[in-house]
Amino acid sequence: MFSQCVIAFLLWSDDPRPQSPPMTLMESQLELARGDKVYLELGGGQIGVYLRGMQVKSLALESQAGFLGPAATVSRVDRLIPGLPQKVVVACPGCEDPSGGTGLDDRIGIEEMPANFLAVLDDGTSWLVLSESGWKPGSQIKSAYWQGKGLIRFLESLVVQGQGQYLFSRMKPESARALYWAIQPGTAVLRAEALSERGLLEEIQMNSEQVLVVLLMAISLICIWVLHRKGMPPRRRRRKWGH
Amino acid sequence: MSRSRAWAATAVLLTGLAGYFVMPPLASRGDDLTLPEERAERLRQELESLQPKGTYILIDTGANRLILKRGAEVLMEAVCSTGSRRTLVSGERRWTFETPRGVRQIRSKIRHPVWRRPDWAFLEEGKPLPRREGDRYMPGVLGDYALDIGGGYFIHGTLYTRLLGQNVTHGCIRLGDEDLEKLFRQAPVGAKVYVF
């Protein structure tokens, strides 16, 4: 929420940012459908996983908000934070496979994919996917951590590339993991519809409980600081050297 | 924090929020997203032509599910096993056991397939590489049928049926005996295979 307010402030000045030439949605769809790679389409309250123009999977969104360029824009995943989990086995001559040839010990399944992550797109978009919600303190801290990370990445893209776009998707944990599984660096992301700022407003309202938590945390910190100051001996005036 | 600083911080926040509300939608910055009807029709037709004709297979590597379809009709649905995504390192050589995503097609169908064990199969078990080519062949471990989807990848059977539904393979797609037989009978050579 805080990061979104800051982003709103940063985007206050309506400066023209470089944008790719306009392309219709159908042209963009066709361009991607001609390839043999998996790509994503954002729109209609869902994230569609596509192959050759056919939707092979649909991942439901709980909410989505952001500041993005026009619809029908295609960008590619540059990197994922955190990166893909890896399991490396070093072959050892004469050693027996501890899994007995099943590979069960070293597999990486979908359940090991992160449910909160940041995808940095090649056009400078910071795409933050969060699945933590509710009142659990752990989930609030995790959510705040990832929102902070998203904000830093967004500011970085603003300063370094002179442009910054921000997309915030809230999903169920299993959908977020399936999304992480589906994308890899290089995966194309097509925005099938423009996001309205109304979405961000709704997101801010939805996250009002987070604001409360952050406020309570801030008040607690101030109280601790004040108590700490009261408990300290009065500061002595520093003696001036020389005459 | 002094009172003036608190006011300044509030002013900054309010300015940002005000900016957010008055900011015109980014999407409506003069981008013409319409196409002439004729061109739109041509694009629509081209998009439709890319859709699979006849029978095709969908393989969800995350959920470890295989679906055989004809148009919108589901002919068969099965639990499968796909790549483990683990990496094996042996000296300078490196293998990542992943089922490659993308569109493939059934190149051939094989009865009673025999597995030619690649180098990683020996190295993984800590065994030395065989000197004779004949020592690489292993009948019976791939089940009764195999469907070649190109690039050295197959849809085949397994001895480890209890591991179906998990990411445990070296990149191939494993199916249970009954499902494999059904697929073998119903999926023709040339059928598209969508792996995602």
CB contacts, 8 Å: B124 with chain A: 89, 91, 97, 101
Q: What span, in angstroms and rounded, lies between the C-alpha atoms of A168 and A200?
A: 9
What DSSP designation does B162 have?
G
Highest mean pLDDT among A17-26, A130-139, B112-121: B112-121
Show which of residues 128-157 on chain B sit within 8 Å of chain A, judged by CB atoms. 128
B37 in A contact zone (CB under 8 Å): no
> Six-digit token pair at B107?
């190149």
This prediction has a pTM of 0.74
CA distances from A42 to A61, A123, A234, B72, B81 (A): 10, 16, 60, 23, 29
| Nearest CB to A196; choose among B25, B43, B50 | B25
Q: Which of A217, A205, A125 is nearest to A165 (CA)?
A: A125
Q: What span, in angstroms and rounded, lies between the C-alpha atoms of B85 and B97?
A: 5
Band of pLDDT at residue A99, cut at 50, 70 and 90: low
Residue A21 has pLDDT above 60, yes or no: no
Q: Which residue has the higher pLDDT, A90 or A183?
A: A183
Band of pLDDT at residue B125, cut at 50, 70 and 90: confident
Residue with tokens 């959908």: A175
Residue B87 has pLDDT above 80, yes or no: yes
Q: What are the residues facing A40 on neighbouring strands?
A: A49, A189
Band of pLDDT at residue B63, cut at 50, 70 and 90: very high
Mean pLDDT, range A74-91, rounded to an integer: 89
CB atoms B28 and A9 under 8 Å: no
Q: Which of B64, B66, B69 is nearest to B83 (CA)?
A: B64
B33 in A contact zone (CB under 8 Å): yes
CB contacts, 8 Å: B123 with chain A: 91, 93
CB atoms A181 and B89 under 8 Å: no
| Minimal C-alpha gap between B189 and chain A (Å) | 19
Query: What confidence score (pLDDT) does residue B85 get?
Result: 92
| Nearest CB to B16; choose among A9, A33, A71 | A9
Q: Pairing state of beta strands B137-139 and B102-105?
A: unpaired
Residue A15 has pLDDT above 50, yes or no: no
Three-state SS for A80? strand
CB contacts, 8 Å: A70 with chain B: 26-27, 29, 31, 33
CB atoms A11 and B34 under 8 Å: no
Q: What is the ipTM of this complex?
A: 0.78
